[in-house]
Amino acid sequence: MSQGGERPHERAIVLIDEIGKVECFSSRFVAAVRSLLDDRKPVVATIAIKGGGLIAEAKARPDVEIWQVTKATREELPERLAVAPTARLGGQ
């Protein structure tokens, strides 16, 4: 989850690839993701389309914005991803 010895909570933006069924079998992963989602820092994550538990819980949060990747939207996503997290941080 982190590189260079840093803890994920020390970063300005957290990237998670991916929150899926297999990953959710790990109680440590589930606890870490819940903690990250409760933090004030933006989280950019890929998440399974279907699933219960953490997958459904994350999608149901009022502070989560879901962008579906399709052939029609995939070209615009890099620019949206470059802008959205820093906009949530107030342009920092």
Residue 18 has pLDDT above 90, yes or no: yes
End-to-end C-alpha distance for the chain, whole angstroms: 23
Domain spanning 8-88: CATH 3.40.50.300: yes
Query: What does the mean pLDDT of the chain come to?
Result: 86
- Return the higher-pLDDT residue of 59 and 15: 59
Q: pTM score, two decimals?
A: 0.75
To the nearest whole percent, how much of the chain has pLDDT over 90?
Answer: 59
Residue 17 has pLDDT above 80, yes or no: yes
d(CA 53, CA 26): 12
Residue 64: closest CA among 16, 7, 1, 8: 16
Q: Where are the domains of the chain?
A: 8-88
Q: What is the pLDDT of residue 3?
A: 52
